[in-house]
Amino acid sequence: MSAASPVIERGTAASRIAGFGVAIIILLLALAPQFLSAGAVDRMTALFIYVILAAMWNALAGFGGLVSVGQQVFFGLGAYFAIRLANAGLNPFVSLFVSAVIVGAVSWPISLFMLRLRNGEFAIGMWVIAALTHLLVNLDRLIQGETGTSLISLNVYDASTRRLTIYWLALASMTALLAVLFGLLRGSTGAAIRAIRDNEDAAASIGVRVTGTKRLLFVLAAFGIGVAGALWLATAITFQPKTYFSVQWTAYMIFMVLVGGIGTFEGAILGALLFFLIETWFGGTGVWYLIGLGATALVFSLLLPRGLWGTLEERFGWRLLSVGYRVRLPVNASDTTGGTASPAQVTTSREKA
């Protein structure tokens, strides 16, 4: 055996540069409305909401191993509670966030129950929860069934104040949620999350708190998606249960994460950007656009399950926002027995992000 020992690194020069880059991008985005048209500001707001949705679904599925097709329940509830709170006299902007906190609180008892389900059973079980919640919200007299209602109290603000406030709120929410997720993945919980992602049973056997960690991700995702739903309501003003509790939202989340790269922090953001562009270009084609989204998700899950970012990362060893450690094995440190393992395999430095 060679005496050379592996080198353990945390991040790379590139990832440090990326850190500064992120700060500058956020700053530029904060100033951007000065230079953008009203329509462009609205579109950017939508993009921020997509990033939140993708990052939250990725937290749940990519890191927690929990694929849910019922996340629209939290999107819908985020909007619904905001309507309710505003109707009770709370400032509409404040009610957006109080609403999300309530969504997070509601998700906790749901998690007690649903996290005992596995894989496909969890996925579709969440869908049942979403369908049931949708029906129950319809019963609320304020909502008037599928007719829906509006966040009327927002109308006291003039259009441009409203637009800018929502833009900044969306940007701040996105930044904060991404930061929380990043911190979570980089901190001690991150090690547990990666262990669970790689092998749940093994993680449990070495004392990782599997259920506790999954619950944390579940509640975080519910809260984040609740924020997204409330923000969407703020931009759209009208609330129709059918729109907000539609499984289409989950389809978007899945598309973004699958295409971007499931289980990679950067991948979800990339996926949201791509989805945003595709929607901008092809959203007008109606049903063909939806067929295209489904087919793309299908093709990615079959042919490129690691998504674009995951594939690039694997091939080139890229990482920008480093959430893990990586171990560089020195060349010829192993394989003294003259096997056929190629040098490429030995020197592969894979980050478990």
Nearer to another protein among residue 126 and residue 234 (C-beta): 126
Residue 60 binds another protein (CB under 8 A): no
In angstroms, what is the minimal distance from the CB of 144 to another protein? 12
34 binds another protein (CB under 8 A): no
Q: How far is the CB of 195 from another protein (least distance, A)?
A: 16
Q: Does residue 291 touch another protein according to CB under 8 A?
A: yes
- The contact pattern for another protein, residues 77-116, with x = CB under 8 A and - = no contact, is ------------------------------------x--x
Choosing from 191, 204, 290, 333, the residue that interacts with another protein (CB under 8 A) is 290
Instruction: Lay out the site mask for another protein across 220-249 (x = CB under 8 A, - = otherwise).
Output: ---------------------------x--
Residue 124 interacts with another protein (CB under 8 A): yes or no: yes
206 three-state secondary structure: coil
Q: Is 120 in the site for another protein (CB under 8 A)?
A: yes
Q: Does 261 bind another protein (CB under 8 A)?
A: no
8: left (phi over 0), alpha (psi -120 to 50) or beta: beta
Which CB, 165 or 301, lies closer to another protein?
301
CB 297 to another protein: min, Å: 4
Nearer to another protein, 11 or 65 (CB): 65
Minimum distance from residue 42 beta carbon to another protein (Å): 26
- Of 87-95, 226-234, 269-277, 338-346, the window that binds another protein (rule: CB under 8 A) is 338-346
Interface with another protein, residue 254, by CB under 8 A: yes
The residue within the footprint of another protein, chosen from 128, 152, 202, 331 (CB under 8 A), is 128
Examine residue 16 and tell whether it contacts another protein (CB under 8 A).
Answer: no
Is residue 341 a contact point for another protein (CB under 8 A)?
Answer: yes
Q: Which residues contact 254 (CB under 8 A, 6 or more apart)?
A: 57, 69, 297
Three-class SS string for the chain? CCCCCCEEECCCHHHHHHHHHHHHHHHHHHHHHHCCCHHHHHHHHHHHHHHHHHHHHHHHHHHCCCCCCCCHHHHHHHHHHHHHHHHCCCCHHHHHHHHHHHHHHHHHHHHHHHCCCCHHHHHHHHHHHHHHHHHHHHHCCCCCHHHCEECHHHHHCCHHHHHHHHHHHHHHHHHHHHHHHHHHHHCHHHHHHHHHHHCHHHHHHCCCCHHHHHHHHHHHHHHHHHHHHHHHHHHHCEECHHHHCCCHHHHHHHHHHHHHCCCCHHHHHHHHHHHHHHHHHHHHHCHHHHHHHHHHHHHHHHHCCCHHHHHHHHHHCCCCCCCCCEEECCCCCCCCCCCCCCHHHHHCCCECC
Binding site for another protein (CB under 8 A): 61, 65, 67, 69, 113, 116-121, 123-125, 127-128, 131-132, 135-136, 138-139, 145, 247, 251, 254, 258, 287-288, 290-291, 293-298, 301-302, 305, 334, 337, 339-341, 345
